[in-house]
Amino acid sequence: MQQNRHHKLLINDVVLDNDSLRVKVQGEWRSIEVKQLALLYLLIDNIGQTVTRDTIITTLWPDIIVSDNSVSQLVVQLRKTLGDNKNKPRFIKTVPRLGYQLIADVNEAPELSEKLIAPQENRPIYWLIAGLVIGGSALQLYNSSLFDRPQSAQYTYQSRLTASPGAEVFLRYSPNGRYLAFSHVGKNQEQFDLSVIDMKTQSLHNLKSTGYSEEAPVWSADGKWLAYYRYDPFSCSVRVLSVDNAIEMWRLSPETMLFECDAAHGPLPIFWPTDNVLYTQQWQETGIEVRRHKLTSDSGVEILDTRILPSDIGFLRDINIETQELLFSQLINNKHHLFKGRDKGNVVAKSSLITGGRGPSVWNKVAGSYVVGDNVLKSVNQQGDEDIIYQANGVITDIAVDLQGGHIAHSEGVAQVNLYHLDTTVQNIQSDLNAVSSPAKLDVMAEVSKDGNWFAFASYDPQRPLGYTQVEIWIKHRQRDTANLLTMLPRNAFPKKLLLSPQGDNLLILSEEGDVYLINLFSKKLITIIQDFKEIRNIYWSDDGRLINYQATQADGQWRLWRYSLKELNNSLIEQGEVQLEKYTPVLAQQNISFPNFLTDISSYLLMHTKHEVDPDQLQASLRLYKPALFNEGIYYILRQGHQLYLYCYYSQRQENIRIRPIGLYLYDINVSLSLSTDWQGAHILLNRVDGIETDIVLHRLNSTTQ
């Protein structure tokens, strides 16, 4: 008998995600084919009973004549997907001459509070052997120097602290290391709850589950207060509650509002390095603004005064409560760099540049060192020497260090970022979006040809470091069901923007490294056409699609106008000597993100025409998340209101701003460039949507000999 399907099931220790056609086996997500899933559900519906081969054939192939061998092959494939062994089955038992029987335990995947995992100090020797075998296989498979490095002798992987549907993010240890605070969002939920794990008793406590979204907790330096962001669709506030009593009473503690914050952006980390000093961050039009607040906690926490730090500090990553050193990152020439420094009144004294990346970075217990993560968790000392702690299953989203014991907790997982097509010419534009790509990889940087017939996008595996993967470029004709692989970029090259020619026959690929590639959609031959310049900008096609115009600087730092000819296959200077660059700047509709003022100009234009309908801060924050898409009658843009995303269009000639439809949720910054693109008529839109985030908290112990 057919049963109601849960979104997720736990089959023994395997998680089945019905919505995404995937299973999680030994901590790794893998896809499951539709026919395999149908067989699995047939066995689940008849759990404990033998399902005959005839029943399987008539159920799975009702209108097709198939051989008995088709059943055998399907069972073999399903066993392989689940990691089952025919000789020692844990899932599917063969009943000789009859059929098959499901012998596994099947339950609904538990919620966070039901799936808190207690750490284990010792692991059986066969787990070590299995790890060595898997590690050796990975070495041969990837052929990457990354896996040649030994794991850290300083740390021991202990366990996962959580393994539940949804995401656990914004991790923070209390100053004494006793508690780990974080935010949790469950499957199909739209708001974060505030939770704390007591690391001594391994018990979980849900502090806030109010219907609002409680995010990014931070402890006071003395551990007596806990501050966090509270969001609703229209407002944001930073609130404080007392935790200077038994943890069972914290959820009943009165809370006070410390200050109102910017509801247009997601939360930026708060730091409370001393009892009377609090650092906050807020997006401004020119970048991130860091503020230093002087506090008093005589009768509740209050702000006495506020000072804005120098504007060039960048993004504040962490503050060491023992040394008061700042750790912050900046984007310089499209590269992420880490700096350390000290707050000295009106000046932040920077140190020299240190190793960094786009992932989370925090100070370590070991003096002067810090911990960074992306796909690999590693400790870095003052000399820049790296010590790999852990190869993550997916992407590392947050890191917390217990500065008393030196232990490290991090959250890791995957996000489904899918690409969708919206046809604005259909009668019911509110119907479901049409999926263009597969959730197996991240498909981003969508580009639609001027006539709307061709879709191009980039695809890569988020579970591998960007330096050890090759990005794929795919192409799809609008009227065909499937996309085709166009090319693979050179290793270590990561695209920043795709630009189809006006005729749709050639594709430009602008890389973050400053190189530009050209590929013909029909010959599929990839060539490098622009490289070795100090900087390039203002790249665009000529109207006939035969020339590529751009500006570039060489060693002398002087901007000059260049042109690449598809006919002559070479680059040439447009004019010698000093020229008026503005004279060669195309109209706004022909520009793209390679133009430094593109977003500023679009933002100013939209603010001028929508100021009575759209919140300016909300608009600027949303334009950073999704770049706008221009077409002949106006501008498509996406507006984030709370966690909900809406597609808008401003029609220039009609001077009318219209909300077209909701497109989904955006709960957490996953550090992925999200796409929005359209053809010249505005009829066909390609856009990204984050369909789900799955993360767990992982614990690593600092070995006592290293403390």
* Whether CATH 1.20.120.1200 fits 8-108: no
When pLDDT is averaged across residues 148-170 and rounded to a whole number, the result is: 78
The residue ranking higher by pLDDT, 354 or 338, is 338
Q: What is the pLDDT of residue 530?
A: 93
Whole-angstrom distance, CA of residue 396 vs CA of residue 376 = 8
Q: Which residues of 112-135 are buried (b: 16+ CB within 10 A; e: fewer)?
A: beebbbeeeeeeeeeeeeeeeeee
| Half-sphere exposure in the Cβ direction for 530 (13 Å, CA) | 35
DSSP letter for each residue of 452-466: S-EEEEEEE-TTS-G
Give the pLDDT confidence of 294-326 residue by residue, as tens digits. 998 777 899 999 998 887 788 899 998 888 888
Taking alpha carbons only, the member of 222, 231, 350, 347 closest to residue 295 is 222
What is the token pair recorded at 94? 């063969």
The CATH number fitting domain 447-590, selected from 2.130.10.10, 1.20.1440.230, 2.170.150.70, 1.10.260.40: 2.130.10.10
The answer to which of 130-144, 439-453, 501-515, 520-534 has the lowest mean pLDDT is 130-144
Average pLDDT over residues 422-442: 80
> What is the predicted pLDDT for the residue at 579?
59
User: What pLDDT score was predicted for residue 134?
Assistant: 39
Kindly list the domain boundaries of the chain, sorted by start residue: 8-108, 112-414+694-706, 447-590, 597-682
pLDDT digits (tens, 9 = 90+) for 73-121: 899 889 989 999 888 899 999 988 889 999 998 887 765 555 565 444 4
Question: Above 90 in pLDDT, residue 546?
Answer: yes
Q: What is the pLDDT of residue 111?
A: 58
Q: What is the pTM of this model?
A: 0.73
Tell me how crowded residue 388 is: count the other CB atoms within 10 A of its CB: 16
Cα angle 604, 607, 609 (rounded to 5 degrees) comes to 110
Kindly compute the dihedral angle of the four CA atoms of residues 262, 267, 273, 274, in this order, to the nearest 10 degrees.
Answer: 40
Query: How would you list the strands of the sheet with 99-102, edge to edge?
Result: 51-52, 99-102, 92-95
Backbone angles phi, psi at 590, to 5 degrees: -95, -5
Interior angle at CA 491, CA 486 and CA 495, nearest 5: 60
In the chain, what percentage of residues exceed pLDDT 90? 38
Give the per-residue pLDDT at 221: 93
| pLDDT (tens digit per residue) in 624-681 | 889 999 999 999 999 988 788 999 999 998 999 999 999 988 888 877 888 899 999 9
Lowest mean pLDDT among 129-143, 177-191, 293-307, 502-516: 129-143
Number of alpha carbons in the 13 Å side-chain half-sphere of residue 275: 7
Q: Which pLDDT score, from 0 to 100, does residue 346 have?
A: 66
pLDDT at 30: 85
Q: How many CB atoms lie within 10 A of CB 66?
A: 12
Give CA–CA dist 412/398, Å, rounded: 8
Q: Is the pLDDT of residue 587 over 50?
A: yes
Q: Regarding predicted confidence, which is higher, 535 or 111?
A: 535
- Beta bridge partner(s), residue 282: 289
The type of residue at 9 is L
d(C-alpha 112, C-alpha 287), whole Å: 36
Query: Which of 94-108, 215-229, 293-307, 482-496 has the highest average model confidence (pLDDT)?
Result: 215-229
Give the integer Cα–Cα distance in Å for 97 and 280: 69
| pLDDT for position 133 | 39
Among 341, 346, 344, 345, which residue's Cα sits nearest to residue 329?
341
For residue 152, what pLDDT is reported? Answer: 62
Strands (E), 461-558: 472-477, 484-488, 495-500, 506-511, 516-520, 526-530, 535-541, 547-553
Q: Which alpha helices (DSSP H) does 46-107 contain, by range?
A: 53-60, 68-82
In whole angstroms, what is the distance from residue 75 CA to residue 52 CA? 12
Tokens of 268: 């930026």
Identify the pLDDT of residue 585: 75
Residue 341's φ and ψ, nearest 5 degrees, are -170, -175
Considering the segment(s) 112-414+694-706 as one domain, its CATH architecture is 7 Propeller (2.130)
Mean pLDDT of 153-159: 84
- Give the integer Cα–Cα distance in Å for 557 and 183: 47
Top-confidence residue, 93 or 577: 93
Residues 294, 267 contacting (CB under 8 angstroms):
no
Closest residue by Cα to residue 506 from 534, 527, 481: 527
Cβ atoms of 293 and 277 closer than 8 Å: yes
Q: How confident is the model at residue 468 (pLDDT cuts 50, 70, 90)?
A: low
Q: How far is CA 671 from CA 374, 414, 424, 463, in A?
A: 10, 12, 29, 13
If residue 292 lies in a helix (H) or strand (E), which one and from where to where?
strand 287-296
Residue 269 vs residues 13, 278, 317, 361, 667: alpha-carbon distances, Å: 35, 11, 7, 12, 15
pLDDT at 148 over 50: no
Q: What is the pLDDT of residue 453?
A: 94
Instruction: Report the Cα–Cα distance between both ends of the chain, in Å, rounded.
Output: 59
Can you tell me whether residue 45 is helix, strand or coil? helix
Provide the pLDDT for residue 355.
58
Assess whether the region 8-108 and the region 112-414+694-706 belong to the same CATH fold: no
Burial of 552: CB neighbours in 10 Å, binned 0-12, 13-18, 19+: buried
Percent of the chain with pLDDT over 70: 87
**606 burial type by CB count under 10 A (0-12 exposed, 13-18 middle, 19+ buried):** buried
CA distance 567 to 564: 9
pLDDT over 90 at 130, yes or no: no
How do residues 602-628 score in pLDDT, each as one tens digit?
999 999 998 888 888 788 888 888 999
> 604 to each of 78, 493, 610, 616, how far by Cα in Å?
55, 33, 10, 10
Name the band, by pLDDT with cuts 50, 70 and 90, for residue 70: confident
**Given this model, what pLDDT does residue 33 score?**
84
